[in-house]
Amino acid sequence: MKIKLDVTQSQDSPYFWIAEIGRAKLGIHQVDGWCMQLNDKISFFDSEDRCDPLLPVLELDRHLFFEHLHNIASSNEVLSQVIGEFPKELLLKHAFHSSFSAYWPEKALAWLDEDVALQPAFKSELIRFTDNTVMPQQARQNAKKILNSLR
């Protein structure tokens, strides 16, 4: 799915939109946190099961995405705290727990490989992933490598 990193804010609106994912907008509410707008409906990412529309973010280069967030935070003091609360742990857990194919777990694994601080929170997911022979061997080996670094 095509993702466009962009920054828009409506006048007198508590919403700050930072990306377009297809026809949806990914953004931040100044008080309530991360959300997505599709048509007139706004959903908040307050639990793992609500992260499905957020999965395409995993297709982005992780460094590019977080650089975009950093640039927004450095230019907007009001949003800097909320931007730092991007629900990446919920998103990655959702990718591991809800996928029936290897596609999203492999994307999550690539992000996790670059986030050493977050890796211990995924020990059980990594163990299950390495034991799942349906997953591609190279991906299982990458998960095993991360697991071994945790010991």
Render pLDDT for 35-45 as a digit per residue (tens, 0 to 9).
999 998 999 99
Same domain as 79, residue 121: no
Task: Identify whether residues 77 and 91 lie together within a single domain.
Answer: no
- The answer to whether residue 89 scores a pLDDT higher than 80 is yes
Sheet architecture: strand order including 24-29: 3-9, 15-21, 24-29, 33-38, 41-44
Question: CA distances (Å), 117 to each of 18, 113, 130, 151, in order?
Answer: 25, 10, 20, 14
pLDDT in tens, 25-67: 999 998 899 999 999 899 999 999 999 999 999 999 999 999 9
Look at the chain and report how many structural domains it folds into: 2
Given a cut of 90, is residue 125 above it in pLDDT? yes
Domain hosting 54: range is 1-86
- Do 45 and 101 belong to one domain? no
If asked whether residues 2 and 75 sit together in one domain, one would say yes
Instruction: Record the pTM.
Output: 0.92
Q: What is residue 26's predicted lDDT score, i.e. its pLDDT?
A: 96
Give the residue, 1 or 88, on which the prediction is more confident: 88
> Are 60 and 120 members of one domain?
no
**Shared domain check, 119 and 51:** no
6 and 76 share one domain = yes
Tell me: do 10 and 51 sit in the same domain. yes
Whether residue 5 sits in one domain with residue 72? yes
Using pLDDT thresholds of 50, 70 and 90, give the confidence band for residue 77.
confident
Q: Are residues 34 and 64 in the same domain?
A: yes
11: phi then psi, degrees, rounded to nearest 5: -60, 135
**Is the pLDDT at 11 greater than 80, yes or no?**
no
Q: Which of the listed residues 71, 86, 101 is the one where a domain comes to its end?
A: 86
Are 40 and 51 members of one domain? yes
